[in-house]
Amino acid sequence: MALATASVTDICLAARRASRELASLDPGTRDRALSAVADALIARAPEILEANGRDVEAGRAGGLDVALLDRLALDASRVSEMAVGVREIVALPDPVGEVIEGRRLPNGLEVSKVRVPLGVVAVVYEARPNVTIDAAALALKAGNAIVLRGSSYAALSNAILAEIAARAIAEEGLPDGALALVAGGDRDELAELATQAGVVDLIIPRGGEGLKLALSAVATVPVIYAASGNCHVYVDASADLDAAERIVLNAKTQRPGTCNAAETLLVHAGAAPAFLPRALRALREAGVELRVDDRARALAGELAGSLLEATEEDWDTEFLAMILAVKVVDSPEEAIEHVNAHGSGHSEAILTRDVEAARAFRLGVDAACVYVNASTRFTDGGEFGMGAEIGNSTQKLHARGPIGMRELCTYKYVVEGAGQARP
């Protein structure tokens, strides 16, 4: 692993050198290195938890909110899950060298579109120390070198995780510089990383809007934003109300500090009189603060006095907390219009038994992931069978949705001939 005293530029140049060797390594070598990482995480779990405990203690003393503390904290189960995630990545088919498509031209040339590593991937992330391992495993499996920059909140956790992973892969023969951690210091350091054009091939920020704005202002390296999740659940007039209540509670409360948690509930006026009294009561009993429009309040019964008035700002807010905005709409088209006006393009759900309403929502909503009769909480690389993810892209070019191994690759055309020359 790069030493803390090395400059960002030196770390990135070492990663560039390592990337050339990684791209030519056989899949078995990369897989053995990742298996060693999984073993080392379990063997050194007490060290990981000790370092993380110090980060959590400092975060609590520094006034971090509950959602951030949840994302920061590790326990034995979460460390084990990291190791399991690495092993799941090892078990996936190797993407490097995969022939995406091929054809024979009339002149006899054989043209193949072949998946290849990007080269050097940098990941900038906030709070979640598990990203250190998830990102490293995905990048290395795809034949890339990786440069990591975590937040100061998780400095000790990230340092021990990166040290464990770097030592494990080095012992299995991966080149020096293949995995490096930048300390996570000031914005000048971030700017230096984001301007390594020609050295770093891609930078992926995983965090809030502040991080996104800081990078977009200076980056000369291509960026895929693993952006915020202002996600909606729309309960249509024909929805199964028992299933709808269960899904809404899951989408909001199962882990509210994640980007795929629901932030707004939209309910069709035809379902609202039967659905809202029970759903609002269940949400309040679960500890959710409700911010509602006038039509929802009118159906809240005895709860009406405890509900807050939803503001225009609430429709645009990713709360990452036990807070939910609630609105009554008159049609699927109005729900779609609201989602497209206020959503972040992350994950949106419709709960319905109407085939036409489902089709309209699927086609009309502009988001990376659209769900029919399921919770938004499934937007996750692991849940999608990708082993893990670095984040969820809300962009439309190169990668959209969970950023997994194949999103960390590009491709080249390989053309094989038998002496042809262009006439």
Cα 248 from chain centroid?
Answer: 21
Q: What is the pLDDT of residues 107-161, one digit of tens each?
A: 999 999 999 999 999 999 887 899 999 999 999 999 999 999 998 899 999 999 9
Helix 130-141 to helix 27-43 angle (10° resolution) is 160
Q: What is the pLDDT of residues 217-268, one digit of tens each?
A: 999 999 998 778 999 999 999 999 999 999 999 999 999 988 999 999 999 9
Average pLDDT for 282-300: 97
pLDDT of residue 185: 62
Q: Which tokens go with 342?
A: 């206020």
User: Domain 8-226+390-416 is classified in which CATH homologous superfamily?
Assistant: Aldehyde Dehydrogenase; Chain A, domain 1 (3.40.605.10)
Euclidean distance between CA atoms 261 and 263, whole angstroms: 6
CA distances from 357 to 242, 336, 345 (A): 19, 10, 19
pLDDT of residue 3: 41
Of 359, 364, 366, the C-alpha closest to 395 is 366
Where are the domains positioned within the chain?
8-226+390-416, 231-378
Instruction: Please give the share of the chain, as a percent, with pLDDT higher than 70.
Output: 98
Instruction: Please give the share of the chain, as a percent, with pLDDT higher than 90.
Output: 82
Q: What is the pLDDT of residues 153-209, one digit of tens each?
A: 999 999 999 999 999 999 999 999 999 999 766 778 889 999 999 999 999 998 777
pLDDT of residue 5: 58
Is residue 216's pLDDT more than 90? no
Q: What is the pLDDT of residues 297-328, one digit of tens each?
A: 999 999 999 999 999 999 999 999 999 999 99
* C-alpha torsion sign, points 149, 408, 143, 415: negative
Average pLDDT, the chain: 94
328 secondary structure, DSSP code: E
Q: Which tokens go with 181?
A: 């951690």
Question: In sequence order, what E strands does 219-376 have?
Answer: 231-235, 262-268, 289-292, 308-309, 323-329, 347-351, 369-372
Pick the CATH number of 231-378 from 2.40.50.100, 3.90.1150.10, 3.10.20.30, 3.40.309.10: 3.40.309.10
Question: In CATH terms, are 8-226+390-416 and 231-378 the same topology?
Answer: no
Q: Which tokens go with 96?
A: 């490097």
pLDDT of residue 184: 63
